[in-house]
Amino acid sequence: MFKNILLAFDGSESSLRTVSQALEIAKLTSDSKIWVVYVLTDKTSSTEVLHLWEAEGIKEDRLHRFKLAEEAAVGHNINYEIKLLRGEPESKIIEFATEKQMDIIVIGSRGLNPFQSMILGSVSHKVMKKATCPVMIIK
């Protein structure tokens, strides 16, 4: 079924909801693996530096974002790996999914209204359009 699962995770409320769905998918196949992918953009980096003065503080903040996802995976005895990538989220998620031959991408929806979505687009929509594997978008 879905052996290699990419969980696009940014620590937001939306991405926290994706964790339980990815775990449910992973439980369907005994040797499945969840790849928890966090894409750090230049905008994200600048914001974190402004709010967290020390490099160690930035590292701790990033690691804290994954704590809930990690605890859930460990609690369900699911194999997982965390990957921090740098660049534009949609392109990095697609590149990683293609390179690692993901069977499915699980990603959260930011909940844009139709007008915002039309003007701005969304990472989940762009990933859905460009991915070569199934994409599950969680509201």
Name which of 5, 31, 32 is nearest 107 in CA terms. Answer: 5
What is the pLDDT at residue 73?
81
* Main-chain dihedrals φ then ψ at residue 40, nearest 5 degrees: -95, 115
What is the pLDDT at residue 130?
95
- Rounded to the nearest angstrom, the gap between the alpha carbon of residue 59 and the centroid of all alpha carbons in its chain is 18
User: 138 - beta bridge partners?
Assistant: 108
Q: Residue 93: which residues within 8 A CB-CB, separation 6 or more? A: 6, 8, 37, 39, 105, 107, 123, 127
Q: Are residues 100 and 55 in contact, defined by beta-carbon separation less than 8 angstroms?
A: no
Please give the residue range of the domain that contains residue 127: 4-138
Among positive and negative, which fits the CA dihedral 82, 83, 88, 90? negative
Helices (H), 84-132: 89-99, 114-120, 123-130
Q: How many domains does the chain have?
A: 1
Q: Which residues of the chain have pLDDT under 50?
A: 46-47, 49-50, 52-54
The pTM (predicted TM-score) of the whole model is 0.80
Helices (H), 30-104: 42-51, 55-75, 89-99
CATH number of the domain residue 128 falls in: 3.40.50.620
What is the pLDDT at residue 50?
47
